[in-house]
A = this chain, B = another copy of it.
Amino acid sequence: MRYVTGAKCVKCGREYEHLTPNTTVCACGGILDICYDYAALRRDVTPKSLAESRDFSMWRYRPFLPVEADSPAPPLRVGWSPLYRADRLAHALGLRTLYIKDDGQNPTASLKDRASALAVVKAREAGAEAIACSSTGNAASSLAGNAAAAGLRTYIFVPARAPKGKVAQLMIFGAAVVSVDGTYEDTFELSKAAIERWGWYNRNAAINPYLSEGKKTVALEIAEQLNWQMPDYVALSVGDGCTIAGVWKGFCDLHAAGFIEKLPRLIAVQAEGCCPLNRALQTGTPWAPMAENTLADSIAVGVPRNPDKALNAVRASQGLAVNVSDGEILAAMRLLGRTQGVFGEPAGVTGAAGVKKALELGLLSPDASVVSIVTGNGLKDVAHGIEAAGEPMRAAPSMEALLDAFAACGVSP
């Protein structure tokens, strides 16, 4: 915590000097932002010193992270995911410069590993032997995997409707999984009571201020991988708002520490059927809950838990708010796969779908440079991969039948 100076509430502005690993929200209920001594960071850390690091994981940015100097990094290799120059996709979209940051290339196959790895460190600093959360998605599986590798127990509460595949991933990682016969709200409340009763470390991104510090490492990597030359825009999908808030925090930290001269504008992409934050941005009114009508389950969040940080990030960056249909999300899965060999889950490709939409709507200039973050791997959700991919050609085992099949499908080999 050498460079950490404290925390500040994003709602009421109250500052906190003394942080513990268990610090959560402000007295007013607002979420905290971790503050750093940027002058000292600027003095001690430089692009050159970073370039000498042989640690190709999120922990190469340790001075920018709220962890004790002697806290060991957790075992799984999280971060330093590839940033691909995506010329073929750019060409298909009519955009001059596009990069894909594939965060599906993480140990449990999503960006959430960055937050969970940080949670594991803070849990150890707190002396906890167990971590808990309630979730059915990537946060839960990343917590279970990263904690297992570090020898920490996990307790994960899922609503009974949770998809079997995701529950299986949790159980493979040895989590104690409680399937709660009730709604998600019931599940959350039971987990909260259990966390208080047994003193488990609490991994809930929207109340734990450290987790978005983990997520911000994706922004630090994008900047370093682009040799500190910022793109005009960074696009990503938005659910409860924690990830886009973390990304913005990363760029702001780099700017304050003198690593980058320009801040990129954010493109916040939500699903048409569930876009409470984008609706607030587009209409200039306070956000209000919405139904959760989208197949992109990871961002199907009708009541976002981090609205303040997320709305502030998009506004402060002079960003764009773009909504896409489920059909456009499925089309983006095919487009990323076909042009770049990247298979993203629906919420994972929603950022790219938004880039396409923003170009079509004239919100984005074809001359802009854009980084689109893929937040999760398509293997997480094979059912929608099948829906997006369509059916193969069929043929009897003869050359004649093959020629007929090619002709019928318009394939000219």
Given A56-B56, A105-B105, A413-B198, decide whether A179 and B393 contact each other with a Cβ distance below 8 A: yes
Determine whether A181 belongs to the interface, using a CB cutoff of 8 Å to chain B: yes
Given A75-B340, A341-B76, decide whether A172 and B378 contact each other with a Cβ distance below 8 A: yes
Determine whether A146 belongs to the interface, using a CB cutoff of 8 Å to chain B: yes
* Shortest Cβ gap from A123 to chain B (Å): 14
Determine whether A261 belongs to the interface, using a CB cutoff of 8 Å to chain B: no
Bound-state CA distance A158–B405 (Å) is: 14
Indicate which residue in B172, B337, B392, B409 contacts A385 across the interface (CB closer than 8 Å).
Answer: B172
Q: Judge whether B413 and A172 touch: CB under 8 Å.
A: no
Determine whether A394 belongs to the interface, using a CB cutoff of 8 Å to chain B: yes
Indicate which residue in B56, B82, B160, B176 contacts A394 across the interface (CB closer than 8 Å).
Answer: B160
In the bound complex, residues from chain B placing their C-beta under 8 Å from that of A379 are: 109, 169, 377, 379-380
Given A169-B343, A182-B397, A193-B399, decide whether A386 and B164 contact each other with a Cβ distance below 8 A: yes
Name A389-410 residues within 8 Å CB distance of B.
389-390, 392-399, 402, 405, 409
Q: Judge whether B172 and A396 touch: CB under 8 Å.
A: no
Determine whether A257 belongs to the interface, using a CB cutoff of 8 Å to chain B: no
In the bound complex, residues from chain B placing their C-beta under 8 Å from that of A61 are: none
Indicate which residue in B75, B109, B338, B405 contacts A341 across the interface (CB closer than 8 Å).
Answer: B75
* Shortest Cβ gap from A385 to chain B (Å): 4
Bound-state CA distance A138–B84 (Å) is: 22
Q: Judge whether B75 and A84 touch: CB under 8 Å.
A: yes
Determine whether A171 belongs to the interface, using a CB cutoff of 8 Å to chain B: yes
Determine whether A197 belongs to the interface, using a CB cutoff of 8 Å to chain B: yes
Q: Judge whether A168 and B382 touch: CB under 8 Å.
A: yes
Bound-state CA distance A342–B113 (Å) is: 13
Q: Judge whether B179 and A148 touch: CB under 8 Å.
A: no
In the bound complex, residues from chain B placing their C-beta under 8 Å from that of A144 are: 341
| Copies of chain A in the complex | 2
Q: Judge whether B108 and A165 touch: CB under 8 Å.
A: no
| Interface-side segment among A16-24, A183-191, A300-308, A356-364 | A183-191
Chain A: interface residue count, which band? 35 or more
Indicate which residue in B148, B396, B409 contacts A337 across the interface (CB closer than 8 Å).
Answer: B148
In the bound complex, residues from chain B placing their C-beta under 8 Å from that of A396 are: 180-182
Bound-state CA distance A402–B413 (Å) is: 60
Q: Judge whether B168 and A386 touch: CB under 8 Å.
A: yes
Name A140-192 residues within 8 Å CB distance of B.
144-151, 155, 158, 160, 164-165, 167-174, 176-182, 186-187, 189-190
Determine whether A130 belongs to the interface, using a CB cutoff of 8 Å to chain B: yes
Determine whether A69 belongs to the interface, using a CB cutoff of 8 Å to chain B: no
Q: Judge whether B399 and A165 touch: CB under 8 Å.
A: no
Q: Judge whether A341 and B165 touch: CB under 8 Å.
A: no
Q: Judge whether A169 and B378 touch: CB under 8 Å.
A: yes
Bound-state CA distance A146–B340 (Å) is: 8
* Shortest Cβ gap from A133 to chain B (Å): 14
Listed by A's residue number, 25 A-B pairs whose Cβ atoms lie within 8 Å are A56-B56, A75-B340, A77-B105, A102-B107, A109-B379, A145-B343, A148-B338, A149-B342, A160-B394, A165-B382, A167-B386, A171-B389, A172-B343, A172-B378, A172-B389, A174-B334, A174-B339, A179-B392, A179-B394, A179-B395, A180-B394, A189-B397, A190-B398, A377-B379, A379-B380
